Amino acid sequence: MHISEGILSGAVLASGALLTAGGCAIGLKKMTNERIPEVAVLSSAFFVASLIHVPLGPASVHLIMNGLVGVVLGWMAFPSILVALLLQALLFQYGGITVLGVNTFNMAMPAVLSYYLFNFLVRRGNRAVTYLAAFLAGMTGVGGAAVLLAVSLVTTGEEFTSVAGVVVITHLPVMVLEGVIAAFSVAFLKKVRPEILEVGR
């Protein structure tokens, strides 16, 4: 899911940087001192889950956990994911610094969408609704990220059109897997610490 250095055009890189800066500004404004531990824990989960990569052309396939991060944190997913991606770029050379804005936006914006679509159902629904909403949040996070990655490639040049299609298709099984992980994770959190699902509010 990380786009490598030297792939995207300058216009796409600049757009990603600006959009990520805006998302982080909103996320930091919503983040209080009391919320920092939850943001840090979910940033760590994102960091660890996306360390195992299967290379795929200019990108790679791996677990993301952005749906889970988003359904809990809302807009705070932007700074959470940004920090994780920055550390991955510096420590393991995944992605890169110039593409940090685009990679962050591609993963954080679907996370925010997952929050608005499913957080209320996760918090207020019965057990079955919680499982279903969390499952869909996990799928939405990965699916949205794959689509945005494909858009980033296509807007850079038509030569990436076929790769963009492959990226979306290969992430379909990842969507299902992430949905299952998100469903069980959210159900566990709701049982042992339901207040964490209120963090993004």
Share above pLDDT 70 across residues of the chain, in percent, rounded to a whole number: 93
Q: What is the pLDDT of residues 149-180, one digit of tens each?
A: 989 988 887 777 777 787 788 788 889 989 99
DSSP line for 114-181 = HHHHHHHHHHHS-HHHHHHHHHHHHHHHHHHHHHHHHHHHHHH-GGGHHHHHHHHHHTHHHHHHHHHH
User: How many C-beta atoms lie closer than 10 Å to residue 132's C-beta?
Assistant: 16
The whole-number pLDDT of residue 132 equals 95
**Residue range 112-141: average pLDDT?**
93
* Domain range annotation of the chain: 10-198
Q: What is the pLDDT of residues 186-196, one digit of tens each?
A: 999 888 888 88
* Fold of domain 10-198: Arp2/3 complex 21 kDa subunit ARPC3 (1.10.1760)
The whole-number pLDDT of residue 58 equals 55
Distances (CA, A) of 192 to 42, 87, 196: 16, 30, 10
Q: What is the pLDDT of residues 48-84, one digit of tens each?
A: 887 766 665 555 567 889 999 999 999 999 999 999 9
The whole-number pLDDT of residue 92 equals 83
The whole-number pLDDT of residue 169 equals 84
Contact 28, 20 (CB under 8 A): no
How far is 103 from 4, CA to CA, in rounded Å?
9
Residue in 142, 197, 195 with CA at minimum distance from that of residue 170? 142
The whole-number pLDDT of residue 95 equals 79
Residue in 22, 79, 49, 9 with CA at minimum distance from that of residue 142? 49
Asked whether the predicted pLDDT for residue 17 surpasses 90, the reply is yes
